[in-house]
Chains A and B, each alone.
Chain A
């Protein structure tokens, strides 16, 4: 029985890996439409090719943690690291390959990583540059007794591993802004889940101000939600049965404002608000159905 279960698991994983490979190969098989010579117009949309773009923003901010009994996360500095070649690029942890770059659209193969783990772990890559001073994951105790259900008191949480996602993203450019459509899947069978994103960004460039407003819809598959926000039997037997994860859409808005002081120095204000999907907020691990972040500081680009 155990053997057959393992075979089924292995088989399922193989099917998923083949599916990813098929997606990648099919996409790679599409004839390259080409790269437009003028694919960006304003300076802040562009990056110099074959040259590292490094920078750091220093200031003060905070990221709220929707997980119960986890501290909010102070933000002291934010790095930016990017390198763009002819088609390959590395940008703040994402590796991409541009299949085509046209005046009105681009298509990239791209990797990303799940941001949900960052709520659980101080040393998640998303948090390396943040100071999470007193976070602990062991004492889940209080919850207002809204019903007759037992309070969600958990034993030590099991590991939520880091997941690298791989997929495709498309950008559509118009006078009404930029739309990003992305789909990605867990590449190494950590949770075997998928994520998708629809993001609209509109930018203003007025005198020395650069403003970007984004509205975001983030979809997370049932596997992703269950892996990060589901309850394991060892954590709480009752709630592992009671909470059944399902896919959901996070909704968010972001504003980034930069005021150019010199060629190297900007003032930076960044605000983000994410309304967490009801399906995720229903998890007893959470006591807030949102996460908000702000940062105010000065940014230096080398």
Chain B
């Protein structure tokens, strides 16, 4: 009972601290294209929260979107236009220490149905 209470107290403590958790979020998180060959062209917003306010930089694994750094402690969002065929992984790092703080991923998926054709044999024709 004591352990349970301590556990609950611990959780509450964690929740109290969660307001200060460092995070990076991309909105929207998923871009749906009509087929595999079509690039996703969309404006996404990157929004971040910091456990202690500092200047940050955002990098991506797509060379089309090079490193960007903010110059104001009051700026917590950035919007960028994206044109890509593949997922983009964003990483937020401390501008001062270059330490990785958080990450976010823009996922690209295709809504196209798989191509089908007529099957010429009964699946169980070997019987």
A contacts, CB < 8 Å to B: 35, 39-40, 45-51, 53, 55, 57, 61, 75, 78-80, 82, 84, 89, 91-94, 96, 101, 106, 108, 110, 126, 129, 169, 171, 212, 256, 268, 270, 272, 293, 295, 299, 301
Q: How far is the CA of A110 from the CA of B121 in the complex (A)?
A: 12
Are A84 and B117 in contact, CB atoms less than 8 angstroms apart? yes
- Do A80 and B123 form a contact, CB below 8 Å, given A49-B114, A50-B115? yes
Task: Return 28 A-B CB contacts under 8 Å, by A number.
Answer: A35-B117, A39-B118, A40-B119, A45-B118, A46-B118, A47-B117, A48-B114, A48-B116, A51-B114, A55-B123, A78-B127, A80-B124, A82-B119, A82-B123, A84-B117, A91-B119, A91-B121, A94-B121, A106-B118, A110-B120, A126-B126, A129-B126, A171-B120, A212-B122, A268-B124, A270-B124, A272-B127, A299-B124
Residues of B within 8 A of A82 (CB): 119, 121, 123
Are A92 and B117 in contact, CB atoms less than 8 angstroms apart? no
Nearest A residue to B113 by beta-carbon distance?
A48
Q: How far is the CA of A57 from the CA of B127 in the complex (A)?
A: 10
Residues of B within 8 A of A57 (CB): 124, 127
B125 proximal to A (CB < 8 A): yes
Q: How far is the CA of A295 from the CA of B118 in the complex (A)?
A: 25
Are A256 and B122 in contact, CB atoms less than 8 angstroms apart? yes
Residues of A within 8 A of B123 (CB): 53, 55, 80, 82, 92, 299, 301
Q: How far is the CA of A295 from the CA of B122 in the complex (A)?
A: 15
Are A106 and B122 in contact, CB atoms less than 8 angstroms apart? no
Q: How far is the CA of A84 from the CA of B124 in the complex (A)?
A: 16
Residues of A within 8 A of B126 (CB): 78-80, 92-93, 126, 129
Residues of A within 8 A of B114 (CB): 48-49, 51
Residues of A within 8 A of B122 (CB): 212, 256
Give, as a whole number of angstroms, the nearest-CB distance from B117 to chain A.
Answer: 6
Nearest B residue to A271 by beta-carbon distance?
B127
Q: How far is the CA of A212 from the CA of B121 in the complex (A)?
A: 12
A-facing mask of B91-120, CB < 8 A → 1, else 0?
A: 000000000000000000000001111111
Nearest A residue to B121 by beta-carbon distance?
A91
Nearest A residue to B123 by beta-carbon distance?
A80
Q: How far is the CA of A39 from the CA of B127 in the complex (A)?
A: 26
Q: How far is the CA of A51 from the CA of B115 in the complex (A)?
A: 10
Are A91 and B127 in contact, CB atoms less than 8 angstroms apart? no
Give, as a whole number of angstroms, the nearest-CB distance from B104 to chain A.
Answer: 32
Are A101 and B117 in contact, CB atoms less than 8 angstroms apart? yes
Residues of A within 8 A of B124 (CB): 57, 78, 80, 256, 268, 270, 295, 299
Residues of A within 8 A of B127 (CB): 57, 61, 75, 78, 270, 272, 293, 295
Residues of B within 8 A of A270 (CB): 124, 127
Nearest A residue to B120 by beta-carbon distance?
A91
Q: How far is the CA of A270 from the CA of B117 in the complex (A)?
A: 24
Residues of A within 8 A of B116 (CB): 40, 46-49
Give, as a whole number of angstroms, the nearest-CB distance from B35 to chain A.
Answer: 14
- Do A46 and B120 form a contact, CB below 8 Å, given A78-B126, A293-B127? no
Residues of A within 8 A of B118 (CB): 39-40, 45-47, 101, 106, 171
Residues of A within 8 A of B119 (CB): 40, 45-47, 82, 84, 91
Residues of B within 8 A of A91 (CB): 119-121, 125
Given contacts A39-B117, A48-B115, A293-B127, 9 further A-B contacts (CB under 8 A): A35-B117, A40-B117, A46-B117, A46-B118, A48-B116, A49-B117, A57-B127, A78-B124, A270-B124
